Structure 1
Amino acid sequence: MKKAYRVKKEADFQKVFHQGNSVANRQFVVYVLDKPDQSHFRVGISVGKKIGNAVMRNAVKRKIRQSLHELDEELKEDKDFLVIARKPAATMTTHQVKSSLRHVLRLAGMLK
């Protein structure tokens, strides 16, 4: 995913976290903030230490990024959103991650 499509700064993370709306399922929490003047979506990914060691956390992040890459045509452009992984995400396959993300993004109103 290109750098322009990522929420990287701490201030941007906090803005989405505090001002955005949240939706969750068992594996993920998604915070969404409307940005009407934005031409494309931006995503931030957070995987905490409760998930596992660094290898496990990076594997979960890779699966989330791959799933979002496959779903990017379906995502609304004028939003910033955060994906926060919960503990069950550590044992999921890429296909299961994509299915779960699609579910929680649909609940959040992120899909076209």
Structure 2
Amino acid sequence: MKNKKIIKKNHEFQTIIGKNKSFKNSTFVIYYSKNKELNFRYGISVGTKIGNAVLRNKIKRKIRSIVFDIIKNDFNAPFDIIIIARKNLLYKTFEEVSKDLTNLIKSVK
């Protein structure tokens, strides 16, 4: 079954980032735009400066887990969101990262 809540295509990433609507903190940068499908979609980007492929995939799994918890708690806004992780994420606990990301996503509303 295809997951329609994940943004994977490069042109979709570039379209959302090109709109220059963003929120940021020390851990994440979030770009967002309103979508026409009336459901929440997200994409995750972790740069190569953060670490090797194993570490980047581990970070993506953590971010997906946090986003899933946010969606599960009745967040269904019609937005496309690109989440870009910053290097400061490596020095924070899971709870701190979760709090930072939750606050940013909720500020999109």
Deviates more, 1:90-99 or 1:53-62: 90-99
Whole-Å separation in 1 of the counterparts to 2:47 and 2:101: 17
TM-score by length of 1: 0.86
How far has the Cα of 1:42 moved from its partner?
A: 0.6
Give the aligned partner of residue 60 of structure 1: 59
How far has the Cα of 1:62 moved from its partner?
A: 0.7
How far has the Cα of 1:75 moved from its partner?
A: 2.7
The correspondence of residues 1-112 of structure 1 with structure 2, limited to 5 A, is 3-35=3-35, 37-72=36-71, 73-107=73-107, 109-110=108-109
Unaligned 5+ segments in structure 2 are none
RMSD: 1.6
Structure 1 residue matching 2:99: 3-state secondary structure: helix
1:87-108 CA deviation, whole Å, 9 max, x = no partner?
011233332221110122233x
Whole-Å separation in 2 of the counterparts to 1:101 and 1:3: 21
Runs of 4 or more consecutive aligned structure 1 residues displaced over 4 Å after TM superposition:
none
Structure 2 residue matching 1:5: 3-state secondary structure: coil
Q: 1:90 to 1:74 in 2, by over 3 A?
A: farther
Whole-Å separation in 1 of the counterparts to 2:75 and 2:62: 17
How far has the Cα of 1:25 moved from its partner?
A: 0.2
Whole-Å separation in 2 of the counterparts to 1:27 and 1:74: 24
* Number of residue pairs aligned between Structure 1 and Structure 2: 107
Identity within the alignment, %: 36
Whole-Å separation in 1 of the counterparts to 2:76 and 2:26: 23
Structure 1 residue matching 2:4: 3-state secondary structure: helix
